[in-house]
Structure 1
Amino acid sequence: MAASPAPFAPFEWMIAWRYLRAKRAEGGVSVMTWISLIGITLAVFALIATLAVRSGFRAEFVDTILGANAHVTLYNAGTINEQTGHIDRTLHDYDAMAERVGAVPGVTRVAPLVKGQVMANSRDRNAGVQVFGISPENLKTIPRINNPETGIGDIDAFRVIPDTEQATVAIGSGVARELSITVGDKIKLILPGGVKSPLGATPRVKVYDVAYVFTAGRYDIDRTRIYMPFAEAQSYFNREGRATELEVMVEQPEAVDNMTADLLGAAGELSQVWTWRDASGGFLRALDIEDNVMFIILSILVLIAAMNITSGLIMLVKNKGRDIGILRTMGLTEGSVLRVFFICGAFTGMIGTFFGVILGCLFAIYIDPIFSLVNVLSGGQAWDPSIRGIYHLPAQLQMGDVLSAVALSLGLSFVVTIFPARRAARMNPVEALRYE
């Protein structure tokens, strides 16, 4: 007795290839094959492009947070001032506190800050801004601020000028644009109730030279933030000998939650901790939910495209009923018939997936010129940084995302092929040839 041929033998591939390229006049469904292939290609392209943009947006957003903001902020819970009866949340022993916190394993930098909100003015322009009082040495360690590629001016000029009561400031590019100023210009800062007098509190007004203009990459930072030398900020905000908070940078920001107990222990009693995850947790959770929903929606799109393979194979099986009957009478087994039509559907899915991956990767790689073209065609309104926070649409190709798209596409293509292939394999050759 002759041995059965091995699965996916060369003759099975030959028959499947003959059916795939058969013209409609020959009983083939080449048009349906092309529709299925194009559908799979576009669905995989859309899935990879969306996953790349999603990964890029999240990476850019997190990078701007970690590159321009504290990974951990330490506050004072507050004590009651016996003289005024008000709650005092400033840090009086910030140097000792910073030394203790800096000794915690994993901490790379601790910087005392003085923070406050003021009105910025230049000629007839005004803007509400937030002032960060920080030492020049600590300012230079903030990656998104001390960036020669995006900064304008000399960050070394950010300092209190020796033997004078003057100081320079560093301002965000959004503030500079709003006030129409640049490096070398003067900016007036107005603090309501900054000066105490017998007649009551009066605004404190002081003019500073702009030494440096930074672009952190986040609209809300560049549009509202001004850095002032720490000693000058203490004087300006009436915080002599005190700090508002401690800015802490760590080696592994993603694992910052595991360090909060040690940081609180080092900071001492009445200390409170606020991590970058606490500050942006709501937005990050919203991104996670949006990611999951988009993946599900695009998976359905891939499934719909894969269903075209089923339609095409059902038509192919119907048109090739006579051929199936002849092949079965010649000794072709049910398994061989099933594999022939499985190859037809799976091959379409694989080719469509291949081209979809190519298009998706090219889109992610060349997203900047593509987005620039879209922005030009839309009149420059395709991306509003005041709403989305960052200045451009980023994309980041990740191997896991590409593999997920490929696995999903191939998996669905193989699954939807099984039903029409089984139908062809179980076709009765007698019934198929009865009217031939």
Structure 2
Amino acid sequence: MFKAHEFLIAWRYLRARRAEGGVSVMTWISLIGIALAVFALIATLAVRAGFRAEFVDTILGANAHVTVYNTVGVDAAGRTSRVIPDYESRAAAIRALPEVTRVAPLVRGNVLGQNGQLTAPVQVYGIARGDLLTLPRIADPIESQGDIATFGGAGADARVALGSELARELDLLPGDRIRILSPDGARTAFGTSPRVGTYTVGYVFTAGRYDIDRARLYMPLAEAQSFFNRDGVVDELEVMVRDPEAVDETALRLLEAGGPRTLLWTWRDSAGAFLRALEIEDNVMFVILGILVLIAAMNIVSGLIMLVKNKGRDIGILRTMGLTEGAILRIFFLCGAAVGTLGTSIGLVLGVLFALNAESIFGAVMAATGGQAWDPAVRGIYTLPARLEVGDVLAAVGLSLVLSFLVTIFPARRAARMSPVEALRYE
């Protein structure tokens, strides 16, 4: 499509000095603008992809992909309850499904944690030791203190595991004792009295998600059943599947395996609204930054128009030598396309370098601001990760190149349609 002499002439015009009527300041501005816009687009998409991946990973690494409940029933005393009495058989039936990788019976309760004068709300998860070891973000956390192997025991000798933020708030370390208080305690002839338990902290974990590290405490299942008056029953079944992204497709088989009273609550039910909002924000950011790329590319028009004006005499001479309108169009199109391609390439390199070194950059920003730039209590996770997705990079590069090529056509057509007679009239 392009001939060698057209590349040669375009390259001559691009490297010509300003005094020779070469590339204008506007062209350099457009090149820098395109590079910065592409860099910003790639960096933003990488951060958004990394944030979503980290957010979802913290959900799936320490929480159930699917939680199995019971519908409300009435016990012998006439009280409503959702407890699962036949949890072992139902867990075995669900575990038999090929899509399921893990089923863990849980007892859950909200209590008040206390250490001396320090208090904090605590979410207690009663779980068997073997099931706790299969939770990725708990068994293999970002940071940990103590030994997860010590988890277990009964009564006052029971050892529990708790999140690092909760341990920090209560000033606890492995080996210390934590006191928990529950209003739903022992039933007596005079009613239900508050129950108090004291346990040894055996393991402190940092799962990477603030709301988990801030409030969660894992207790041996048998001890939790005793503490919360759940003898022989559990509150729910924690289920993990092979493909969490396709959890909705597995839901029907889980309902069938769970039995007639089964209710499901998936991780998409709990976090789906946030993820959908994040996806909408991603699309909006892509559009906004795409407009910035367009604005930067429009500067190519200004630069090429000035170049065409300065090269009017050259255009007339080239036309009299036999070059066609198409050849002139291609020469100036190559000039504009070269600026767009070079700017896009620079932006691509900067964006990739930023994504690959995002952790170091984030650490430097946090150090410079004294840790005020990112609040995990608001954003849920502790770091701002970046993740390069091939599709995002191709979309950013493709958008920049397409816009750069499109805006180049107008001034290139103007140069091609310039009359050689008018161009040489006053020469």
Q: How high is the TM-score relative to the length of structure 2? A: 0.98
Aligned match of 1:74: 68
1:278 matched to 2:257? The reply is: no
Matched residues in 1 for 2:76 and 2:131: separation? Answer: 34
**What is the total number of aligned residue pairs between the two structures?**
427
Query: SS in structure 2 opposite 1:120?
Result: strand
Instruction: Name which of 46, 64, 78 aligns with 1:52.
Output: 46
Q: Secondary structure at the match of 2:111?
A: strand
Match 1:43 to one of 37, 44, 47:
37
Equivalent residue, structure 1, for 2:367:
376
Q: Return 5+ residue gaps in structure 2 as ranges.
A: none
Aligned to 1:91: 84
Report the equivalent of 1:407: 398
Q: Distance in 1 between matches of 2:87 and 2:75?
A: 18
Name 2:356's counterpart in structure 1.
365
* Structural mapping, 1:133-152, within 5 Å: 133-147=126-140, 150-152=143-145
Offset at 1:367? 1.0
- Name 2:119's counterpart in structure 1: 126
1:401-432 superposed Cα distances (whole Å, 9 cap, x missing partner): 11111111111111110111011101111111
Q: CA deviation at 1:311?
A: 1.0
Q: For residues 193 and 15 of structure 1, what CA distance do their matches in structure 2 show?
A: 86
Q: Does the Cα contact within 8 Å between 2:24 and 2:307 map onto a contact in 1?
A: no
Structure 1 residue 150, shift from structure 2 partner: 1.8
1:232 to 193, 212, 223: 223
Structure 2 counterpart of 1:170, one-letter code: A
Q: CA deviation at 1:165?
A: 5.3
- The counterpart of 2:157, out of the listed 147, 158, 166, is 166
**Residue pairs, 1:251-262, within 5 angstroms:** 251-262=242-253
Unaligned runs of 5+ in 1: 1-6
Contact 1:112/1:246, CA 8 A, preserved across alignment: yes
Separation of aligned partners in 2, 1:32 and 1:41: 14
- Trace 1:187-266 onto structure 2 (pairs within 5 A): 187-266=178-257
How far apart in 2 are the matches of 1:80 and 1:385?
41
Is contact 1:97–1:266 with CA below 8 Å preserved after alignment?
yes
Deviation for aligned residue 1:29 = 3.0
Q: Is the 8 A contact 1:20 1:33 kept in 2?
A: no
Instruction: State the AA in 2 paired with 1:220.
Output: D
Aligned match for 2:331, one of 315, 329, 340? 340
* Bigger shift: residues 169-178 or 188-197: 188-197
Q: Deviations over 1:169-222 (max 9, x none)?
A: 100011001101111111000001312233332211111000001111000010
Is the alpha carbon distance of 1:135 and 1:197 closer, same or farther for their aligned partners in structure 2, counting shifts above 3 Å? same
Q: CA deviation at 1:17?
A: 1.2
- Give the superposition deviation at 1:292: 0.5
**Cα displacement (A) at 1:70:** 0.4
Q: Which moved more, 1:425-434 or 1:370-379?
A: 370-379
Structure 1 residue 82 displacement after superposition:
4.4
**Separation in 2 of the partners of 1:246 and 1:170?**
20
Across the aligned residues of Structure 1 and Structure 2, the Cα RMSD in angstroms comes to 1.2
Tell me the equivalent position of 1:22: 16
Q: Give, in whole Å, the separation in 2 of the partners of 1:361 and 1:98.
A: 46
Query: CA separation of 1:423/1:25 partners in 2, compared to 1, >3 Å: closer, same or farther?
Result: same
Read off the aligned partner of 1:424 and give its amino acid letter.
A
Residue 433 of structure 1, CA deviation: 1.6
Paired with 1:125 and 1:149, the residues of 2 have a C-alpha distance of: 26
* Corresponding residue SS for 1:104: coil
**Contact 1:321 / 1:432 at 8 angstroms: preserved in 2?**
yes
Q: Per-residue displacement from partner, 1:123-162 (whole Å, max 9, x unpaired)?
A: 111100100000000000000000165221111100015x
Say whether 1:355 aligns with 2:349: no
State the shift of 1:80 in Å: 1.9
Does the CA contact (< 8 Å) of 1:158 and 1:170 recur in 2? yes
What do the CA deviations read for 1:80-117 (whole angstroms, capped 9, x no partner)?
Answer: 23423x21110010011101111112111111100000
Question: What is the match of residue 4 of structure 1?
Answer: none
Aligned partners of 1:41, 1:370: CA distance in 2, in Å? 20
Tell whether 2:322 aligns with 1:331: yes
Deviations for 1:364-407, whole angstroms, at most 9, x for unmatched residues? 11111211221222222010000000000000011111111111
Please point out which of 395, 398, 410 is paired with 1:419. Answer: 410
Equivalent of 1:295, from 282, 286, 299? 286
Query: Could you give the per-residue CA deviations for residues 31-82 of structure 1, whole angstroms, max 9, x where no partner exists?
Result: 2221111111101100110010011000000100110000110000111234
Q: 2: CA distance between counterparts of 1:422 and 1:71?
A: 58
Q: Bigger shift: 421-430 or 17-26?
A: 17-26
What is residue 155 of structure 1 aligned with on the other side? 148
> What per-residue deviation string (whole Å, max 9, x for no partner) do you get for residues 265-304 of structure 1?
0100111011111110111101110110011011111111
Cα distance, 1:168 vs. partner?
A: 1.0
Runs of 4+ in 1 over 3 A off after TM superposition: none
Q: Contact (CA 8 Å) 2:142, 2:206: kept in 1 or not?
A: no
Partner of residue 7 from structure 2, selected from 10, 13, 31: 13
Distance 1:311 1:127 in 2: 63
Displacement of 1:244 after TM fit? 0.1
* Identity %, equivalent residues: 64
Letter of the 2:47 partner, please give it: V
Does 1:64 find its partner at 2:58?
A: yes
